[in-house]
Amino acid sequence: MKELSGRVAVVTGGGSGMGRELVRQLLAEGCTVAMCDVSARGLAETERLCAAATMPQGVRLTSHVADVSNEADVLRFRDEVRAQHATDRIHLLFNNAGISGGGSLVVDSREQWERTFNICWGGVYFTTRAFMPLLQAADAAHIINTSSINGFWATVGPDVPHTSYSAAKFAVKGFTEALIADFRVNAPHIKVSVVMPGHIGTGIRVNSLKVQANTDADELDATQLAMARSRLRSMGLDVSDISDTEIAAMLADRAKRFVAEAPTSAAEAATIIIAGVKADKLRILVGRDAHLIDSMVRENPDQAYDTEFYARFAAEAGWYPGR
């Protein structure tokens, strides 16, 4: 699918980050786009940015509030796409929505752990299931599932638990690769890609806390602060003497650095992903750090979780301490 003009694309998580940039670039390519997100505010901002740009004539953008971990929401989203775009087919499905959190199976709550897992993995499964008839009805189709480097390397540091997100992203990668044989036999016109970004400059840290706390407000509430404390405790840190104000300031500083010091921006990531789709790539590694850790893990898998291995990678990739 080298030419995207005139195609219909569905993007989950279109209210921020890579999802927002995918929506903007797909529209510029001449795609009609339906996007969903849990954040109505995020969707409105994406719509505003798209409306301010010059788009090819005839393209349309619709936005839909939906939680991809909720199958009923996903089915409603699909039905709205059918009705609002008057179509029985789509050509591109970008399963992009995701959050972090629930890092520790031991310390974090089951609810927080499963919230992350159910969005990052369940959202991919539910959305693929829901839109499969529309993909089958197209003359050509492509499913693009966002995994992560944590889909083949389950860590963000030797002392930072990262179990829920990593387990989900491993599932996404395995699911995508398993679809190759399935589609070869049962739907040969549908292609698949798995996206594995490294550190991308997005607001995932702030947005994840909002989703975990079920809020769309910018101000940190008691639930978000409690989750942040739990995360720090899971890393072995004593936070008993740290005030809520200090926790909030720490979160704000880390979120700012996460975007400012990322080696790849969300817009650059979207460009790489779309180019990978046009080239019919199965594995779309995003960022120099993604390519680096992919080769390092392949070369030395038995030491991939050692402290020295992580330190060497972080130094070569330019990851800042405490990322």
**For residue 16, is pLDDT > 70?**
yes
Answer yes or no: is pLDDT of 301 > 90: yes
CATH number 1.20.120.10 is the correct assignment for the domain at 8-317: no
Q: Give Dmax (Cα) for the chain.
A: 61
281: pLDDT strictly greater than 90: yes
Q: What is the DSSP string of 29-83?
A: TT-EEEEEES-HHHHHHHHHHHHTS---TT--EEEEE--TTSHHHHHHHHHHHHH
Q: 210-254, pLDDT tens digit by residue? A: 898 888 877 777 887 787 787 777 777 788 888 888 888 888 888
Residue with the bigger pLDDT between 260 and 250: it is 260
The predicted-structure confidence for 50-73, as pLDDT tens digits, reads as follows: 999 988 889 999 999 999 999 999
pLDDT of res. 227: 79
Residues pairing with 285 in the sheet: 196
Instruction: Please state whether the predicted TM-score (pTM) of the whole model is above 0.85.
Output: yes
The predicted model gives 69-94 an average pLDDT of 98
* H/E segment holding residue 256: helix 244-260
Residues 6+ apart with CB under 8 A from 317: 198, 199, 263, 288, 289, 292, 293
Q: What is the pLDDT of residue 321?
A: 64
Which of 6, 2, 134, 15 shows the shortest CA–CA distance to 59? 6
In the chain the first and final C-alpha atoms are separated, in Å, by 37
In terms of phi and psi (left: phi > 0; alpha: psi -120 to 50; beta: otherwise), the region of 90 is beta
pLDDT in tens, 92-142: 999 999 999 889 999 889 999 999 999 999 999 999 999 999 999 999 999
Looking at the chain, the whole-number percentage of residues with pLDDT higher than 70 is 99
